[in-house]
Structure 1
């Protein structure tokens, strides 16, 4: 999943970014409202974590600008503004959730996970494709009764594909959702990770391919024809 973290306090931004990265999310960071809007205009995000007390452009103005043309991107306000009036205003302007500082990281991650499920109209934490199961909360993956050990990037790629079953995911989409925008990747990096996932599925007992390479377009996941 791809997250834009908008926080002007660099130390707090570092802490939150490290935590979310350890959870398997791809993170871009902006330190003021103007930079946040620049990122938003060029990169699709699953969730935006937005501080309000920002330089250059206030967080509420960032929220207004996004909501003028985009009702779907999930936005979680993370702010020291804790008055009821501030929380109500943020939610009325279109934020999907509001968490006040100081906060517990586990609660932040749980709220992001909930917003991700809502974004994909997904009920519950478990995604399935045939005998393949992926638990977004516990981050456990299994094929039948066999547990699979995936790297963080492999989990992110598989999770995004399973949230969009039967749809062709372009290479750019998968890279956007599994890596940060500032990472310099080798051309075959995604191909290598897809190959590794396929190999682990085979080792777990998958007899027919679940992940298909759609030539010239990208990849999709779905049960193979019998």
Structure 2
């Protein structure tokens, strides 16, 4: 799962980033609203954590941009602003949660778990792919008969995207955007990544849809 973090306090930003990474999340962290807007417009994320008072575009402006493009992605506001006006404005603009600073990281993680569970892409974290293979969307772990299979970072990102689009075509453009952050890459890199992931799954689970992309089939 890819998490977008906007927090201008460098120490807190580092704590949240490292804590989430230790839980298996992939975190893109930023300290100012200028860079944040640029990244949001050019990349895909599964969850947003936004501070309100940052340089450049503030948290409310960022929230407006997010909701203009997607109504369902969870957005959690973290802020030292505890007045009811800011809280009400945040919810009116479409945030899913508002956590007042200071807070315990475990509280933030519990809120994240709660909102991930409500995502439309899954009714639960563990997705059974057949009688032997399963994938945990929260931990981003692939299992064969309950034994974890080692995945690289890009393999985890690709597997997450394929599971989120289970039995549907995942376009080449979607993979490029999600796994490579739309950065320049050679076509052979994607084919190589697909090939490596196929070898870790049952034959025929990932199929190539010519001219469109790839599909993960539930058996």
Shift of residue 209, structure 1, vs aligned partner: 1.6
Q: Give the structure 1 partner of residue 171 of structure 2.
A: 170
Higher relative contact order by CA 8 Å / sep ≥ 6: 1 or 2?
1
**Equivalences for residues 28-43 of structure 1 within 5 A:** 28-43=28-43
Inter-partner Cα distance in structure 2 for 1:198 and 1:65: 37
RMSD in angstroms over aligned alpha carbons? 2.9
Inter-partner Cα distance in structure 2 for 1:103 and 1:219: 42
| 1:2–1:25 Cα contact (<8 Å) kept | yes
Shift of residue 180, structure 1, vs aligned partner: 5.2
Inter-partner Cα distance in structure 2 for 1:166 and 1:98: 35
Under a length normalisation based on structure 1, what TM-score does the superposition of the two structures give? 0.78
**Equivalences for residues 1-226 of structure 1 within 5 A:** 1-68=1-68, 70-131=70-131, 132-144=133-145, 146-179=147-180, 187-201=187-201, 206=202, 208-223=203-218
| Partner-residue secondary structure (3-state), 1:56 | coil
| Partner-residue secondary structure (3-state), 1:8 | coil
Q: What are the Cα deviations for residues 102-148 of structure 1, in whole angstroms up to 9, with x where unaligned?
A: 33334434433433343334212211222321123455432345542
Shift of residue 83, structure 1, vs aligned partner: 4.2
Q: 1:115 to 1:177 in 2, by over 3 A?
A: farther
Shift of residue 86, structure 1, vs aligned partner: 3.4
Inter-partner Cα distance in structure 1 for 2:185 and 2:165: 24
| 2:42–2:181 Cα contact (<8 Å) kept | no
Q: 1:198 to 1:176 in 2, by over 3 A?
A: same
Q: 1:70 to 1:159 in 2, by over 3 A?
A: closer
| 1:168–1:220 Cα contact (<8 Å) kept | yes
Inter-partner Cα distance in structure 2 for 1:102 and 1:50: 14
Q: 1:154 to 1:108 in 2, by over 3 A?
A: farther
Q: 1:23 to 1:176 in 2, by over 3 A?
A: farther
Shift of residue 39, structure 1, vs aligned partner: 2.2
| Partner-residue secondary structure (3-state), 2:200 | helix
| 1:127–1:163 Cα contact (<8 Å) kept | no
Shift of residue 157, structure 1, vs aligned partner: 1.9
Inter-partner Cα distance in structure 2 for 1:188 and 1:11: 39
Inter-partner Cα distance in structure 1 for 2:52 and 2:35: 14
